[in-house]
Structure 1
């Protein structure tokens, strides 16, 4: 990996950490950024759920957490979309999914597609 690619990944990772801190009040456990191609970026975030979400998952209310994310998504988009576009350098589409809603393997995967 070239130094430029590494710096690009780090810029994206730092912004993702900032977004999670804004939502959660503290940073995520782990953020991995993978440049799949010149058009596709995959971001894996572990330790992203708030304390309330952790309690809901622990008590079996996983559906409430999924609904909560549907409400939170437009807020986070509004707050951080311009910064993400500036960081990536172009418009993009994205999709996301919560994986493994058990504490040991919980993660959110986000795929950014720059071919808009």
Structure 2
């Protein structure tokens, strides 16, 4: 991997850590950034859920966590969208999902598509 790709991945990773710290109060356990190609970036975040969300998930209240994210998502978009556009260098669309409901393996997967 050339140094510029590494620097690009690191800029994205640092911004994601900043976003998680903003609403969670502490950083995520692990953030991996993978450049799939020039148009697709995949981000895997472990340790993104707040303590309350973790309790709700553990107790089977997944729907409540999903509702919480419906409120949180627009807030995070307003706060960090301009920074992410600057970091990526273009507009983008994104999708996200919770990859594993098991607490030890739970991760949020975000895919940024720059082909807008």
Q: After the TM superposition, which residues 16-95 of structure 1 pair with which residues of structure 2 at under 5 Å, given as runs?
A: 16-95=16-95
Q: Segments of 4+ in structure 1 off by > 2 A? A: none
TM (norm. structure 1) is 0.98
- Residue 90 of structure 1, CA deviation: 0.5
| Count of paired positions | 116
User: What do residues 58-92 of structure 1 show as CA deviations (whole Å, max 9, x unaligned)?
Assistant: 11111111111111100000000000000010000
Q: Over aligned residues, Cα RMSD in angstroms?
A: 0.6
Tell me the distance in 2 between the aligned counterparts of 1:99 and 1:39: 22
What are the ranges of 5 or more consecutive residues in structure 2 without an aligned counterpart? none
Tell me the distance in 2 between the aligned counterparts of 1:84 and 1:101: 27
Tell me the distance in 2 between the aligned counterparts of 1:99 and 1:3: 30
Tell me the distance in 2 between the aligned counterparts of 1:66 and 1:80: 20
Tell me the distance in 2 between the aligned counterparts of 1:71 and 1:99: 20
Instruction: State which drifts further: 13-22 or 55-64.
Output: 55-64
Instruction: State which drifts further: 61-70 or 44-53.
Output: 61-70
Aligned partner of residue 26 in structure 2, secondary structure: coil
